[in-house]
Amino acid sequence: EIVLSQSPDTLSLSPGDSATLSCRASQSVDSNSLAWYQQKPGQAPRLLIYAVSTRATGIPDRFSGGGSGTDFTLTIRRLEPEDFAVYYCQCFGGSLYTFGPGAKLEIK
Amino acid sequence: VQIQESGPGLVKPSETLSLTCTVSGNSIQNYYWSWIRQPPGKGLEWIAYIYNTASTNYNPALKSRAAISIDTSKNQISMRLTSVTAADTALYYCARDRGLWQRGFSNWGQGVLVTVSS
């Protein structure tokens, strides 16, 4: 069973800044099986990135994903007020889905 | 695709929680469907998936208590969780994986809040 960790737990930035969130897996993750989600209060999660670096439908190009093996990142350039939310990484491996614990992006 | 979860808002400890996910706008066949939950103020926890009637799998931590099923005639996915405790209080989501190759939960319901309390 793959375990995902995320860092930092909380990131405090200002609109216009760039954010980099990290996701580390306990074992290698297939590149087609790593995704990122954004969740705002009172809403269901929204798929941002799948297959490590492919943006989901309607996701602006300010969002980008990268990494391989056990280390992955989500980068958000030119933060907009609506980007401040909780972000989760997620993988599928060994026929099991796993979510990371989440990382909160808050306004400084 | 529209996804709507339904179920009892309140379940007593030790009883069985039963939830239904009704999908409209697209057939549920040939997609992986999962139940995912989120305790109040906490993160996401995957519970189980089902693919057509052929394949299921469960979070090892919940495997002994969870059961997922599918009714293609009604376009519904259901889940039962037995012997519930207060730790099972959560918002329960039904979600569809976008594909068999490049995975990610692209479609989610709004969730149904289940409270376990006597």
CA distances from A101 to A5, B63, B92, B93 (A): 6, 20, 17, 17
Q: What is the pLDDT of residues A49-59, one digit of tens each?
A: 999 999 999 99
Q: How many residues are listed for chain A in this entry?
A: 108
State whether the Cα torsion B94-B5-A57-A4 is positive or negative.
negative
Report chain B residues touching chain A, CB-CB < 8 A: 34, 36, 43-46, 49, 57, 59-60, 93, 97-98, 101-106, 108-111
Query: Are A18 and A61 spatial neighbours (Cβ–Cβ below 8 Å)?
Result: no
Residue A35 banded pLDDT, cuts 50, 70, 90: very high
- Answer yes or no: are the C-beta atoms of A36 and A45 closer than 8 Å: no
> According to the model, what pLDDT value does residue A53 have?
98
pLDDT reported for residue B54: 79
- Exposed, middle or buried, A58 (CB in 10 Å: 0-12/13-18/19+)? exposed
Q: Could you tell me how far CA B37 lies from the centroid of its own chain?
A: 7
pLDDT at B99: 86
Dist CA A80 CA A16 (whole Å)? 7
Among B60, B93, B104, beta carbon nearest to A1: B60
Chain A hits for B98, Cβ within 8 Å: 47, 50, 56
Question: Which chain B positions have a beta carbon within 8 Å of A100's beta carbon?
Answer: 43
pLDDT digits (tens, 9 = 90+) for B36-63: 999 999 999 999 999 998 799 999 999 9
Percent over 90 (pLDDT), chain B: 94
Q: Can you give the pLDDT at residue A70?
A: 98
Residue A8 preceded by cis peptide, ω within 30 = yes
What confidence tens digit (pLDDT) does each residue in B63-117 have?
A: 999 999 999 999 999 999 999 999 999 999 999 999 888 899 999 999 999 999 9
Encoded amino acid at B57, one letter? N
Q: What is the pLDDT of residue B100?
A: 84
Residue of B32, B105, B108, B112 to mutate, interface with A, max A Cβ within 10 Å: B105
| pLDDT tens digits along B2-34 | 999 999 999 999 999 999 999 999 999 999 999
